[in-house]
Amino acid sequence: MEFCKRNRMTITNTWFKHEKRRRYTRKSPGDYARYQLDYILVKTWYTNSVINAHTLPGADAVTDHNLFVVKIRIALKKLRKSILRKRWDKENIKNKIVEFANNVDSKLAQVSPILTDEPNDYWQRFKNVMKQEAEEIIEHSIGPVIKKPWITASMLEMINQRRQWKHQTTEEARQQYRKLNNKLRKVTQTAKEEWWAQKCEEIEELDKQEKLEQMYKAN
C-alpha cells in the first residue's frame, strides 16, 4: 500500500466486489488456507479504464497460484497531423516595410486598371503583386514559432539539452537534468522580467508622446 501511495498506483484486486473464490490467488498445500498474494497494479490515472479484475480458480495450470486477469478498456487516440502554415517574418516586416511599399507601388503602376477590366481581374493582379513582393522581400520565418517573446535561441538550446537527459535513468543524468532545469528557470525568469520592464518603458514613452493608437497596440 505504501509503494502504491508513493507511485500513485491502484491495486486492481481491491477495486471490484467479487466472491472469495474470485479473489484469492494462492492456496496452501492441502488447501487448508487461501491467500491473496498476487497483484496487478495500474497507474491511478488509468483506473477508470479497468473494467474488471478477478482470478480464474478453474484454470488448468501446474501451480498453486490461480491465474489473475484484468480486463481493460483501451481507447486509442487518433493523432491528427497539424498543417504547417507559413508565417511572414515579422522582423523583416518592420525593417523592410518602406522597400516593400515602394516595390508594390512600382509594380502596381505597371498593371494599372483599364476601363474594360473587371474588378475581380484587377483584384487578382493586385493580390499577385503583393504576394510576389512579400515572398521576395519579407520572406517567411524559419524555425519554430516562439509564443513567449522573452524566449531566446540559447534558452531553446538549453531546453533541448534538458530533454536529452530527462529520459535517462542514471544518477548522472538526474543530476544534469536538475542542474539544467535550475539554470533554465533562473535565466527564463530574468529574461521575462527584463522584457516586461522594457515593454513598460515603451508603453510609458508612447503615452508621454500621446500616441494612443501605438500605445494600445504595444499593450
Print pLDDT tens along the chain (219 aa).
899 889 999 999 888 888 888 888 888 887 788 888 889 999 988 888 999 998 888 777 778 888 889 999 888 777 777 666 777 777 777 788 888 888 888 887 776 555 556 777 778 888 888 888 888 888 777 655 556 777 887 888 888 888 888 777 788 888 888 888 898 889 989 988 988 888 888 888 888 887 777 777 766
Residues 140 and 150 in one domain: no
Instruction: Quote the pLDDT of residue 170.
Output: 83
**Structural domain span for residue 129:** 85-144
Which of 41, 72, 103 terminates a domain? The answer is 72
Instruction: Quote the pLDDT of residue 181.
Output: 87
Residue 80 lies inside a defined structural domain of this protein: no
Which of 25, 44, 72 terminates a domain? The answer is 72
Residue 214 lies inside a defined structural domain of this protein: yes
Residues 157 and 203 in one domain: yes
Distance CA 50, CA 16 (A): 10
Residues 165 and 219 in one domain: yes
Residues 119 and 97 in one domain: yes
Residues 151 and 218 in one domain: yes
Instruction: Quote the pLDDT of residue 9.
Output: 92
Q: Is the dihedral of CA 181, 183, 189, 192 positive or negative?
A: negative
DSSP class per residue in 36-103: -----EEEGGGGGGEEEEEEETT---SSSBPEEEEEE---PPPP-PPP----B-HHHHHHSHHHHHHH
The end-to-end CA distance of the chain, in Å, is 53
**Which one-letter amino acid corresponds to residue 107?**
K
Which of 30, 49, 72 terminates a domain? The answer is 72
When divided into structural domains, the chain yields a total of 3
Phi, psi of 41 (to 5 degrees): -105, 145
Residues 138 and 104 in one domain: yes
Instruction: Quote the pLDDT of residue 155.
Output: 84
**DSSP structure class, residue 148:** S
Residue 124 lies inside a defined structural domain of this protein: yes
Instruction: Quote the pLDDT of residue 52.
Output: 92
Residues 50 and 10 in one domain: yes
Residue 168 lies inside a defined structural domain of this protein: yes
- Please count the CA atoms within 13 angstroms of the CA of 175 that sit on its side-chain side: 3
Instruction: Quote the pLDDT of residue 51.
Output: 92
Residues 137 and 151 in one domain: no
What nine digits make up the cell of 161? Answer: 539539452
Residue 77 lies inside a defined structural domain of this protein: no
Residue 78 lies inside a defined structural domain of this protein: no
Residues 165 and 134 in one domain: no
Distance CA 123, CA 102 (A): 19
Model pTM score: 0.37
Which of 22, 64, 74, 158 shows the shortest CA–CA distance to 12? 22
Residue 79 lies inside a defined structural domain of this protein: no
Identify whether the C-beta of residue 155 lies closer than 8 Å to the C-beta of residue 181.
no
Identify whether the C-beta of residue 175 lies closer than 8 Å to the C-beta of residue 219.
no
Residues 107 and 174 in one domain: no
Q: What are the residues facing 68 on neighbouring strands? A: 55
Residue 94 lies inside a defined structural domain of this protein: yes
Residues 56 and 118 in one domain: no
Residues 159 and 213 in one domain: yes
